[in-house]
Amino acid sequence: MTTRDRILDAAARIMRTDGVAGATTKEIAREAGFSEATLYKHFSDKADLFKGVLRERLPDLVTTLDRLSDRPGRGSVRDTLVEVATAALAFYADGFPMMAGLFAERSRLDEHVAGLRQTGGGPGAPNRQLAAYLRAEQRLGRVHADVDAEAAAMLLFGACLHHALTAAFADEPSAEHTITAERLVGTLLAGVAGGAGD
């Protein structure tokens, strides 16, 4: 295992326990078995280290979203949305405890958001990618033309994030992610009023 991997593993362990705001580079370096100077040879600062943890130590949502550009017209829309929701549920469930502390310190949140903007990431990126997929399926006639693709993406990701939030407070483990994803997608595709709310 490389030095960088050992640092990322240590950072992920500590951030899951103490959150991003509570984790220090000194503590992470000590957990990894290195000096802080060694940590800074691989990561420019704590924000850079956190980005590495998000990309490389949390369930992979990015790859699932990146594949959406090849999915229009292939497989079913339902299966694609279940795949996306399953990945989002896993990502948010694992990442929420780490990220929650960012909102307690505005300067850290601003620093994190600025770093994400440089790479085109951030919480809006999944919405944009899923909305683009839904619009492509609309052009193929596989999603109704009157569906608001951006709103549908927000509803799905918002439900996944909310599930992670409520699971963090639950005494019991949450249901398996695929089961929850199928329920969310089924409801999204059916519509709450089933056409009766017009």
**Where, residue-wise, is CATH 1.10.10.60 in the chain?**
1-44
Half-sphere exposure of 125 (CA within 13 A, CB side): 16
Which stretches of 43-176 are DSSP H helices? 46-56, 62-66, 77-99, 106-119, 124-139, 149-169
A 10 A CB-CB count for 6 gives 16
The answer to whether the Cα torsion of 32, 35, 41, 44 is positive or negative is positive
Task: Please give the Cα distance from 125 to 117 (Å, whole number).
Answer: 10
Give how far the C-alpha of residue 135 lies from the chain's centroid of Cα atoms, to the nearest Å: 21
Contact 182, 78 (CB under 8 A): no
**Where, residue-wise, is CATH 1.10.357.10 in the chain?**
58-190
CATH number of 58-190: 1.10.357.10
Contact 185, 152 (CB under 8 A): no
Contact 81, 159 (CB under 8 A): no
Lowest mean pLDDT segment, chosen from 46-60, 129-143, 155-169, 184-198:
184-198
Mean pLDDT of 48-63: 85
Q: What is the pLDDT of residue 195?
A: 45
pTM of the model as a whole: 0.81
Q: Mean pLDDT, the chain, as a whole number? A: 86
CATH classification number, 1-44, choose in 3.50.50.60, 1.10.645.10, 1.10.10.60, 3.40.50.720: 1.10.10.60
The string of DSSP letters for 58-76 reads S---HHHHHGGGG-TTSS-
Q: What is the pLDDT of residue 120?
A: 63
For 152-181, the pLDDT digits (tens) are 999 999 999 999 888 877 755 556 889 999
